[in-house]
Amino acid sequence: MSDPKTAATAATQSAVPHTLHYKVWPKRLPHRISAPATSLWHNLAVSALRYPNKAALVFFGRVFTYAEVLDKAERLAATLHELGVKKGDRVVLDMQNCPQWVIAHFAILRANAVVVPVNPMNRAEELKHYITDPDARVAITAADLAPELVKANDQLPPGQQLQHLIVTHYSDAFDVQAEAAALPPAWQEWLGTQHPAPAAGDCRVTSWVEALAQGAQGRLPDHTATPQDLAVLPYTSGTTGLPKGCMHTHASIMHNAVGSCLWGNSTPENTVLSVVPMFHITGMVSVMHASIYGGATLVIMPRWDRELAGRLISKWRVTHWTNIPTMVIDLLASPNFAAFDLSSLVYIGGGGAAMPQAVAQRLWEQYGLRFAEGYGLTETAAPSHSNPPDATKQQCLGVPFLNVDARVIDPLSLEEMPLGEQGEIIMCGPQNFSGYWKRPEATAAAFIEIDGKSFFRSGDLGRVDDEGYFFITDRLKRMINASGFKVWPAEVEALMFKHPAIQEACIISTKDSYRGESVKAVVVLRSSHRGQVSEQAIVDWCRDNMAVYKVPRVVQFVEALPKSGSGKVMWRALQEAEAESSP
């Protein structure tokens, strides 16, 4: 029996033209681009040289110029150097969107180190992996998140613990009292609270203010990072086991930062709403890095609030907004929507979930805006596909992005599928990651060679139409998409098994009218706990031990889980039964 990889390598893949999408390609853009052969740090340095007094970041009423962001990033980089951070070291970055996130991100790059962005919703049990797997010794975090990080650190063996923790308050970036009227009521206490420095054992804690002050006196290391060096290590969960780090170089991130800038018709006069989380590959690359590269202004929101978003778009005359479709749906549903002025918007798009046709139609009819859906994964530095802004199709991934060769293959034979037929989406391009951190076997399984080129296997099933647009049809991987947040059942199950009452658990998706999908847990209780633990108690425990988007919205107790002859849980049977019972 022949090896399918060998067969695919030798096969002629000429049945489907790979240039169909050039018929709808924006005439203003080349098919391929050459990204700068520099590190990502140079993007900030160049923009600060060109536009020193221009607004780089806006946080409520506080404006940070490019010169100021550069200065603070260099100060923090000097402090990281004094703390022993060397070239290639991994530094954890754990906070909500704020100016400090941007400054810390570039400071880590300036220090020739590697950014490990962490979801701020993660709890201690989850955070331990983000400390030990990348062998991190330094973390930069927000004061409201620091206790959870310290809790995780305290539970680790001495040789695997963080040694330094830099802690910032959101109020380090703006005057909370002066901006109180602009803040959602619940945010005033959250953003204004001065949390005491956490007791972190042997881990040294330094405040943000102290770190910047120390850096002013410290020595900056020479910046030696090259395009081929590791820059960012974002983590993605998978079908089995713990989350895996995706190794992205300066070059892979640079390509999509530059490409996103060009695709959205960006200029230095852009004002961009930054509300997609920066720890997420889309918020980091297509929003933050693209804006810094282009010299644009980022209006930063720590988290989603429709009323605040409407006011910020109106006040700062936002021109570009990359988002998750549920944000647009929520904003349009605001009872105060008529008071918002969205006339400044010239580009709106995003991904993570399909945009409902009715909502897209409303955007077009009221504002002349075509919602440009896109597609990508952590492994592809966000966009591998995107809709041309002036030739969009709804419920569609778009066409292959700049420099990207994307195809649809049979997931078993690896032969390319004819137009219109379903198969696995694969992509080759400079935006692809270098592999999974410390996971050579997973890396090998993620790539195949066709026509002498290395293609990443997305694990998503889709098809291509006769104009070269890609459509997603199903998933090979077992994954739940809750408002754009990817939830991997195996990870949630592993966490739930830590509950003393749970004997077995199977995570499936359940339909949700707002989020699209939500998490459901089908649970078998231990005999000793039956009748003593409620479904709500399980939900509450999950909220204390995992990020809120992973928490099961529904828990169902059963006597036993369906299993195959080999003893494997038949999750598909449970998923199909759930689909049949849902309206």
Three-class DSSP category at 442: helix
The predicted-structure confidence for 338-378, as pLDDT tens digits, reads as follows 999 999 999 999 987 778 888 888 899 988 999 999 999 99
pLDDT on residue 238? 62
For every residue of 195-219, DSSP letters joined together read PPPP--TTSEEEEHHHHHHHHHHS-
Give the chain's length.
Answer: 583
Residue 268 has pLDDT above 80, yes or no: yes
The span from the CA of 225 to the CA of 87, in Å, is 8
> How confident is residue 559, by pLDDT bands cut at 50, 70 and 90?
very high
According to DSSP, the residues that pair with 374 across neighbouring strands are 386
* Strand extents, DSSP E, 340-410: 347-350, 372-377, 382-386, 399-400, 405-409
pLDDT on residue 550? 93
> Interhelix angle for 208-217 vs 66-82, to 10°?
80
Mean pLDDT of all residues belonging to the chain: 92
pLDDT on residue 12? 40
Average pLDDT in the 544-555 region?
Answer: 94
The span from the CA of 199 to the CA of 140, in Å, is 16
> How confident is residue 482, by pLDDT bands cut at 50, 70 and 90?
confident
The predicted-structure confidence for 45-98, as pLDDT tens digits, reads as follows 999 999 999 999 999 999 999 999 999 999 999 999 999 999 999 999 999 999
| Residue 264 φ/ψ, nearest 5 degrees | -85, 10
According to DSSP, the residues that pair with 428 across neighbouring strands are 405
The predicted-structure confidence for 120-178, as pLDDT tens digits, reads as follows 999 999 999 999 999 999 999 999 999 999 999 999 999 999 999 999 999 999 999 99
> How confident is residue 494, by pLDDT bands cut at 50, 70 and 90?
confident
pLDDT on residue 572? 80
Q: Which of 432, 420, 402, 426 is nearest to 468 (CA)?
A: 420
pLDDT on residue 14? 45
> How confident is residue 563, by pLDDT bands cut at 50, 70 and 90?
confident
Kindly state the tokens that stand for 226: 């090259």
Kindly state the tokens that stand for 244: 């895996």
The predicted-structure confidence for 289-341, as pLDDT tens digits, reads as follows 999 999 999 999 999 999 999 999 999 999 999 998 889 989 998 999 999 99
The span from the CA of 382 to the CA of 283, in Å, is 9
Three-class DSSP category at 10: helix
pLDDT on residue 15? 56
Q: Are 264 and 389 in contact (CB under 8 A)?
A: yes
Q: Which helix (H) or strand (E) element contains residue 502? A: strand 502-512
Residue 7 has pLDDT above 60, yes or no: no
Residue with the bigger pLDDT between 517 and 268: it is 268
Sign of CA dihedral 222, 226, 229, 232: positive
Residue with the bigger pLDDT between 408 and 197: it is 408
The span from the CA of 79 to the CA of 425, in Å, is 44
